[in-house]
Amino acid sequence: MATESTTITGTGVVAGIAYAPAIWVHARPSLPEPGATVAEEARDAEYERFTVAADTVAERLAARADTVEGAAAEVLKVTAGMVNDRGWRKAVRKNVNDGHPADYATVAATQKFVDMFEAAGGLMAERTTDLRDIRDRVIAELRGEEEPGLPSITSERVLLADDLSPADTATLNPELVVALVTELGGPTSHTAIIARQLNVPCIVAAGPPINEIPAGEPVLVDGASGTITLDADEETARAEVASSRERAAIVAQWRGPAQTKDGHRIQLLANVADGQAARLAADTQAEGIGLYRTEMSFLSASQEPTVEEQAAVYRKVFDAFPDSKVVIRTLDAGSDKPIAYATLQHEENPALGVRGLRIAWGNDGIMVRQLDAIALAAEGRGDDAPTWVMAPMVAREREAKWFAELCRERGLTPGAMIEVPAAAIMADRIMPHLDFVSIGTNDLTQYTMAADRLSPSLAYLTDPWQPAVLRLVKETCRVGELTQTPVGVCGEAAADPKLACVLAGLGVTSLSAASTAVAGVGAQLADLDLAQCQEVAEAVLNASGATAARQIAAEMILG
Ligand code: PEP
Ligand code: MG
């Protein structure tokens, strides 16, 4: 008889299935309470004690960085650098001078920086795990306690943690740690970055329920769906792991450029947020960048960076792909990505508010300066490295026309995101002004289904398999074919291998997704002829809903 199982859902960041007993990272040290005071004459010695402990921690991290490669080494070096940060050490010094013991002085100084990072939000907020990590290491060192972090692991385990520190993740052995699950974190946290590099199935932001999982309990982790299943049937779980490994082996062998079984080319590109992500993408089979979300680079900026400052940021992404296409998107500030210098405050409905291209409508300075910066950064890129520029949230023909003119005046190739239903419906009017379009299925789904993409309770609606969304994709592709305009997809839909086949069947010419998803999509496309993709697409368009559409595709596409 099948036993009932419990499922916890988080954000899957690396696909793959694993089944093994759970293990937790070493506990963090208890934090000191305020109150104790150090006599004035002992304060210099107390700060010296801190300096010795911090230097030891920094040296240990730097030494560990020398034993690993790539992003792992970079992460360890950055963490060691944070221990040496002068601002942080100065804050500790001040607290010790005020009479606090070294351990509490460290806690208070770190908290000051954590508060600052959290207030900045976005990517900065995800770095607070790194700050707390160095705090805990220094406190353990001050007390002569064991360094917090990874336990020693001798057989396959699923590693659980509130949030893994970069130093923990950088040294773990992917042969023994078969999956990572964290309560906190985000898709761009260090846990996610390292898990991608090691190709270990990984789920972040699984929430407090994972604290109930005792060490030693077998858990089934599915990094694609973001689910952790307790009490899974062992035989079924092991079969799922075996078939996932078989598929992973096929995917690992896959080499681009992508095409269907009968040779129909689909360009596979990567979505990135900064230079580091672009460099990681350059190590995959991605043929270029299909979406560079420029706003992600400025989430913590309080003032608009100058044209030169912006160009320096963009250059880091261009430099990762010196001989390939890069599609750069102008600021999509607003809604869930507020930027201090570009976002209107206190909108009632920010997702329906002044976001994307709308921030520059009627006040084009911010757009003009960004396009100047893009043109400056792209100087010297040859014909084999085209720079395409697209605007987010285009809804009307006149917006497309205006944006295209600004781009062409600067020698840039203009395009638009198709992510507002109006743009898909008016594609025949919008597309003639542009050289390409890219469908943002995340927002296109949100706006088509009138369902907030951030709401977990509306996840059944914000599903890109919704036939209503796919019909808008089809209409966009029809106009694309008629006007000979390339139509890409750069929303999360492009990361789902089966949905990618449907999109190819609908007439999409390029797909852009997280770089880790590229090989999986390429391998799946290689299994099907274009005519099969078209057949599945036709069937899915006529499905009654997203679940039915998925089921139809699963039955028609094996693998
Ligand atoms: C989209 O909406 O699908 C998209 C790619 O843009 P973002 O997720 O940044 O809104
Ligand atoms: Mg969008």
pLDDT 10s digit of each residue in the chain, 559 long?
344 568 888 877 788 899 999 999 877 788 998 888 999 999 999 999 999 999 999 998 888 788 767 766 777 788 888 899 999 999 999 999 999 999 999 999 999 999 988 887 766 776 788 888 899 999 999 999 877 877 777 789 999 998 877 667 767 788 899 999 998 876 556 677 778 777 889 998 888 889 899 989 999 999 877 889 998 999 999 999 999 889 888 998 999 899 999 999 999 999 998 898 899 899 899 999 999 999 988 887 889 999 999 999 999 999 999 999 999 999 998 877 788 888 777 888 989 999 999 999 988 999 999 999 999 999 999 888 999 999 999 999 999 999 999 999 999 999 999 999 999 999 999 999 999 999 999 999 999 999 988 776 677 888 899 999 999 999 999 999 999 999 999 988 998 899 999 999 999 999 999 888 899 999 999 999 999 999 999 999 999 999 899 899 989 987 6
Nearest CA to ligand 1 atom 4: 440
User: What are the residues whose beta carbons fall under 8 Å from the beta carbon of 528, sequence distance 6 or more?
Assistant: 260, 261, 501, 536, 557
Nearest CA to ligand 1 atom 9: 293
Distance from Cα 330 to the centre of ligand 2, integer Å: 11
Summarize pLDDT for 4-61 with one digit per residue, the tens.
568 888 877 788 899 999 999 877 788 998 888 999 999 999 999 999 999 999 998 8
Q: Which atom of ligand 1 has the smallest separation from the CA of 392?
A: 6
Return the ligand number nearest the Cα of 440: 1
Out of 296, 327, 419, 445, mutate this one to test ligand 1's pocket (max ligand atoms within 8 Å of CB): namely 419
The SS3 of residue 262 is coil
Nearest CA to ligand 1 atom 1: 440
Q: Which atom of ligand 1 has the smallest separation from the CA of 335?
A: 10
**pLDDT in the model for residue 1:** 37
Catalytic (active-site) positions: 190, 490
Rounded-to-integer distance, Cα 143 and Cα 163, Å:
23
Ligand 1 proximal residues by C-beta, below 6 Å: 291, 293, 332, 419, 440-443, 490-491
Return the ligand number nearest the Cα of 439: 1
Q: Which atom of ligand 1 has the smallest separation from the CA of 293?
A: 9
Q: Which atom of ligand 1 has the smallest separation from the CA of 271?
A: 5
Length of the chain: 559
Domain architecture of the chain: domains with CATH: 7-26+150-249 (3.50.30.10), 42-143 (1.10.274.10), 256-556 (3.20.20.60)
Q: Which two tokens stand for residue 537?
A: 């697409």
Q: Are 497 and 251 a contacting pair, CB within 8 Å? A: no
* Beta-bridge mates of residue 453: none
**pLDDT in the model for residue 188:** 58
Distance from Cα 28 to the centre of ligand 1, integer Å: 37
Nearest CA to ligand 1 atom 3: 440
Q: Which two tokens stand for residue 310?
A: 């912006």
Distance from Cα 517 to the centre of ligand 2, integer Å: 19
Return the ligand number nearest the Cα of 331: 1
- Please report, in angstroms and rounded to a whole number, the separation of the first and last CA atoms in the chain: 28
**pLDDT in the model for residue 318:** 97
Let me know if 308 is exposed, middle or buried by CB neighbors in 10 A (0-12, 13-18, 19+).
exposed
Dump strand ranges (E) for 282-362. Answer: 289-293, 326-329
- Which one-letter amino acid corresponds to residue 247? R
Distance from Cα 442 to the centre of ligand 2, integer Å: 6
Q: Give 3-state DSSP helix, strand, coil % of the chain, rounded to 5.
A: 50, 15, 35
**pLDDT in the model for residue 526:** 97
Out of 328, 337, 417, mutate this one to test ligand 1's pocket (max ligand atoms within 8 Å of CB): namely 417
* Cα–Cα nearest to 410, from 439, 367, 355: 367
Distance from Cα 372 to the centre of ligand 1, integer Å: 23
Cα-flanking dihedrals φ and ψ of residue 15, to 5°? -70, 160
Beta-strand pair 413-418/387-391: parallel
Distance from Cα 258 to the centre of ligand 2, integer Å: 25
Helices (H), 484-529: 497-506, 518-525
C-alpha 118, offset from chain centre: 18
pTM of the model: 0.71
**pLDDT in the model for residue 291:** 97
Q: Are 13 and 192 a contacting pair, CB within 8 Å? A: yes
Return the ligand number nearest the Cα of 495: 1
Q: Which atom of ligand 1 has the smallest separation from the CA of 492?
A: 3
SS (H, E, C) 450-463: CCCCCCHHHCCCCC
* Beta-bridge mates of residue 222: 17, 227
Sign of CA dihedral 505, 506, 507, 510: negative
* Cα–Cα nearest to 476, from 514, 441, 443, 452: 441
Rounded-to-integer distance, Cα 19 and Cα 541, Å:
36
Distance from Cα 367 to the centre of ligand 2, integer Å: 17
**pLDDT in the model for residue 207:** 86
* Cα–Cα nearest to 350, from 432, 467, 446: 446
**pLDDT in the model for residue 2:** 40
* Beta-bridge mates of residue 22: 158
